Structure 1
Amino acid sequence: MAEAAPSRWRDATIRAITPATPRVKSFRFDALGAPHRAGQHVDVRLTAPDGYQAQRSYSIASAPGDPRGLELMIERLEGGEVSGFFDAIAEVGDTIEIRGPIGSFAWEAGDGGPVLLIGGGSGVVPLLAMVRERALRAPQVPMLLLYSVRTAAEAIARGELTARSRDETGFDLTLLLTREGPTTGRRIDRVMIDTAIECLGMPRHSFVCGSNAFVGTVADLLVDAGVRPATIRTERFGE
């Protein structure tokens, strides 16, 4: 099925701003005009007084229908025009142009499982929306999140994900810290993929999000481990 064209631009007001990590802030906006699916993204557009415009895409962290509104988690990037604005200038009450939801990188309760989620760094954000969607509408679906991040302090929603792994039957979290602790220097490898599949079962759906190199490597590992390519969805993540 062809993906629908993006919706028109609309104004959305920032309702809340909360630090998520030293480099990431959570922004709550008015709800979208159209319902989204977990994993989709929106386009954000800023317009300067002289008419100059900058536009970026950001994944939606909130589950569909979240009464608190749309949540974006925006990482500060060096030299980033849009992320720099959100990090240093944006305030509660500001109105921002948003367009969406957009994208076929998505999972919903009716898709079933088992579901294997693999995220690198801020690429965990759309996967977080899937974890939240499962908890709300499909807690019977087995789901495992393999999350690779440099340090514990940089792990987005670490407390929430750890609590869900502890308290929610059928959801498991494997957190790989690549810059601290006993796993320093390790990257996601075949052993970790095999262990995840042994715990979860052969996934019906796999979602991988992160940098270009991360996504390419992980997708190849999944195929080597016997996961059917047609069941693997990937998204490159960045500003």
Structure 2
Amino acid sequence: MADKHRISFEPVDLEMEVGEDEKILDAAFRQGIHLMHGCREGQCSACKSYVLDGEIQMERYSTFACNDAEVEEGYVLLCRAHAFSDCTIELLNFDEEELLNSAPLQEIRTEVLEIVEHTHDIVGLKLKPDADYRFKAGQYADLTIPGTAEHRSFSMATTPSTTDHVEFVIKKYPGGRFSSLLEEGIAVGDTIELTGPYGTFTLKNGHVLPLVLMAGGAGMAPVLALLRHLAETGDPRRIRFYYGARTATDLFYLDEIRALGARLPDFGFVVALSESDAGADGLGVDIESGMVTAVAEAREPELHRSEVYLCGPPPMVDAALELAARQGVPGDQVFYDKFTTSVPQA
């Protein structure tokens, strides 16, 4: 049995136990402590922290997330870190509201209810959980690849008020272990194991700033969850949603977004098409040509006065983060999910 150690977190006066065989972030989830995190694969730096005292070693990680000089200074990625002594760790990025008030991690069985083709490379998947599943709008879950011990992470498009199913929006990649099974291999009635919830791409209680939402591709899922929740609660804030796609054939959920917008007092939806706007006439939405970040920048001169939510492929999120920095948006007003893939991309 692996040795166990105590982890003390500063400046939040919080302690927990961790085994040498488990990552510190996983141990936190197990004990109901919701540390800031993103990819959980050592690629995004959301869980980067500083070791004040103790012995910690990391599994393989990206030096873009934590470079060699930072590691020498004592910085670690908690999603890759194992403790080999009692440790004191300074959290550099944390939300006191989330730390002990997030939904607990659950492992449940689900039944496939529906698989639907939204576009040529975006699939919708609805699962029926066999137990009460608690989460917050905007979070994600791990789905186990049937017949294996591997999993893939996908954002949920549903809100907690929907108790009979959990909905995912999944991008298909050639050679993708999970997404390829949605074409042939996973069928209605099959069982899929789900672990979650994860993620901090959630609306914060009591916040009143206007919202600017930006998404691309399957990044639609958590933003749609936020919109559904905002409509359910009758949120009075100014809300603007910018969605980036290549062409009109890559668009989906337009009818529901219009319906949700009709329930919100100050909502605007703009689609940015980066390659062609052919076929966009008659869709009933505001269409502009160009990259979604350029369109949002032109339309949001007061971006620094908003809370900004970003979700999609890494290049889009990186460009949006650069935009937010240029416009002087404070770091605590920016929330993002940067989708990664297990399939090597050209």
Query: What is the one-letter code of the residue matched to 1:148?
Result: G
The structure having more radius of gyration, on CA atoms, is: 2
Are 1:25 and 2:49 matched, yes or no? no
Which residue does 1:237 correspond to in 2?
339
Are 1:218 and 2:323 matched, yes or no? no
Are 1:15 and 2:113 matched, yes or no? yes
CA distance change for structure 1 residues 138 and 168 in 2, over 3 Å: closer, same or farther?
Answer: closer
Measure, in 2, the Cα distance between the counterparts of 1:21 and 1:176.
17
Please say if residues 146 and 175 of structure 1, whose CA atoms lie closer than 8 Å, have aligned partners that are also in contact.
yes
Match of 2:248 among 145, 152, 162: 152
Are 1:115 and 2:211 matched, yes or no? yes
Please say if residues 134 and 141 of structure 1, whose CA atoms lie closer than 8 Å, have aligned partners that are also in contact.
no
> How far is the alpha carbon of 1:194 from its aligned partner?
4.3
Query: What is the one-letter code of the residue matched to 1:210?
Result: G
Worse-superposed segment, 111-120 or 78-87: 111-120
Residues 92-149 of structure 1: CA deviation (Å, up to 9, x unaligned): 1111010011111211564443111111221121111001100001331321111111
User: How high is the sequence identity, in percent, across the aligned residues?
Assistant: 24
Structure 2 gap segments, 5+ residues each: 1-11, 15-24, 31-104, 279-287, 342-346
Match of 2:224 among 113, 128, 133: 128
Which residue does 1:5 correspond to in 2?
29
Please say if residues 140 and 153 of structure 2, whose CA atoms lie closer than 8 Å, have aligned partners that are also in contact.
yes
TM-score w.r.t. the length of structure 1 is 0.86
Please say if residues 138 and 226 of structure 2, whose CA atoms lie closer than 8 Å, have aligned partners that are also in contact.
yes
Residues 134-176 of structure 1: CA deviation (Å, up to 9, x unaligned): 0001331321111111122212312222343456421211110
Measure, in 2, the Cα distance between the counterparts of 1:39 and 1:21.
22
Query: What is the one-letter code of the residue matched to 1:15?
Result: L
> How far is the alpha carbon of 1:64 from its aligned partner?
1.8
> How far is the alpha carbon of 1:208 from its aligned partner?
0.8
**SS of corresponding position for 1:28:** strand
Match of 1:193 among 297, 300, 321: 297
1 or 2, which has the higher helix percentage? Answer: 1
Which residue does 2:305 correspond to in 1?
202
Residues 162-201 of structure 1: CA deviation (Å, up to 9, x unaligned): 34345642121111011212855x2134563241355x88
TM-score w.r.t. the length of structure 2 is 0.61
Pairing 1:51-200 to 2, within 5 Å after superposition: 52-107=148-203, 110-165=206-261, 168-181=264-277, 186-190=290-294, 192-197=296-301
RMSD after superposition: 2.5
Query: What is the one-letter code of the residue matched to 1:187?
Result: M
> How far is the alpha carbon of 1:228 from its aligned partner?
1.4
Please say if residues 141 and 196 of structure 2, whose CA atoms lie closer than 8 Å, have aligned partners that are also in contact.
yes
Query: What is the one-letter code of the residue matched to 2:173?
Result: L
> How far is the alpha carbon of 1:55 from its aligned partner?
1.0
